[in-house]
Structure 1
Amino acid sequence: MSGQGGSAPDAGAIEAIARDTVARLPAAFRAHLGDVVLIVEEWADEETLNALGVEHPLDLTGLYHGQPIGEKSSMASGAMPDRIHLYRRAILDEWIETGVRLDDLVRHVTIHEIGQHFGLSDADMHALESEAD
C-alpha cells in the first residue's frame, strides 16, 4: 500500500494490516497476545491526550493501555484487558507526510505498541519488527 490516490484507507484496512503484523510475529510473542484487544479509532480522545501531554491528536499514532507482561501479577483480577489503540487519522497523516508505505507504517506502530506490552527496549522493538517482515 504505497499509493496515496483514491479514498483514505478505513479502520478495517488499518486493522487488517495490524492483524497481519501480529500473525507474522514469532510464535513465542503471539502466544502472549491472545488476550490483548486491538482497537482502531479515528484519533485519541482528549483525556488520553491530556494524560500523555500530547497537544494535538495527529501527534499520537498508537498507544498501549495495560501493564507490561513482566509486571503482571496472578493476584490481579477484574482489570480491564490490555489494549492496543491505533489512531487512524494520525497514521494517515504521517503516511501522507512521510511517504512511507502504509503497511510499513502500521507495522511499525503496531510492533511499537506490542513492544510496550512486553516491556521491550527500542532496540528490541526494531529487531522484532525485522522478524515480522
Structure 2
Amino acid sequence: MDTRPPSLAEFERLALAAIDALPPAFRRPASDVVLLVEDWPPDHILAEMEIDDPHELTGLYEGIPLTEKSQFDQPLGPDTVWLFREPILDEWRDRGDVALEDLIAHVVVHEFAHHFGWSDDDIAAIDRWWE
C-alpha cells in the first residue's frame, strides 16, 4: 500500500474532481474561478487574516461572491480558491476517520460556497459532511 501523501498535482486533480461533482448548475460558474493549490498559505495571506499558525488555514476564497457582484465592479484580479495541501493533510492525519478525497471535497465545497454566496443550508444540501 502506498502511504505517500499526494503531490501538489495529484492534490489538484482531487480538487478538480470535487468541482466536477458539483451540481450541474454550478459547474460552469465554478470554472471561472482560478484554483490554486499550494503547500502552505503565503505569509501575506496569514498576515492579512491575522493567523499565526499556518495549520489553521486549509483553504481560502478571494473575490466577490456572485450574489454581490455588479456590472460596475472593477475586479482587481480573478476570483480565486486557494487550497493548502499541508494543513489539509495534517487535518486528515489528525482526524483519521475520513478519506482524503472527502476532506479535500469538503474544503473545496466550502470555499466555492463563498463564491456562490451559499447559505449553510445550501452547503449542507451539497456537502453532506456529517454523514
So what's the TM-score if we normalise by structure 1?
0.88
Q: Distance in 2 between matches of 1:14 and 1:123?
A: 27
Q: Matched residue of 1:90: which SS?
A: helix
**1:67 aligned to which of 52, 64, 68:** 64
Moved over 3 A (4+): none
The letter of the residue matching 2:23 is P
The letter of the residue matching 1:106 is I
- 1:78 positional shift: 5.0
Q: Matched residue of 2:35: which SS?
A: strand
Q: Matched residue of 1:70: which SS?
A: coil
What is the percentage of aligned positions where both structures have the same residue?
Answer: 41
- 1:6 positional shift: 2.6
**2:40 aligned to which of 27, 38, 43:** 43
Q: Distance in 2 between matches of 1:71 and 1:105?
A: 28
**1:90 aligned to which of 77, 87, 94:** 87
* Structure 2, gaps ≥5 residues long: none
| Residue 29 of structure 2 corresponds to residue 32 of structure 1 | yes
* Structure 1, gaps ≥5 residues long: none
Q: Show the counterpart of 2:111.
A: 113
- 1:125 positional shift: 1.1
**Mean Cα deviation higher: 111-120 or 30-39:** 30-39
What RMSD, in angstroms, separates the aligned Cα atoms of the two structures? 1.5
So what's the TM-score if we normalise by structure 2?
0.89
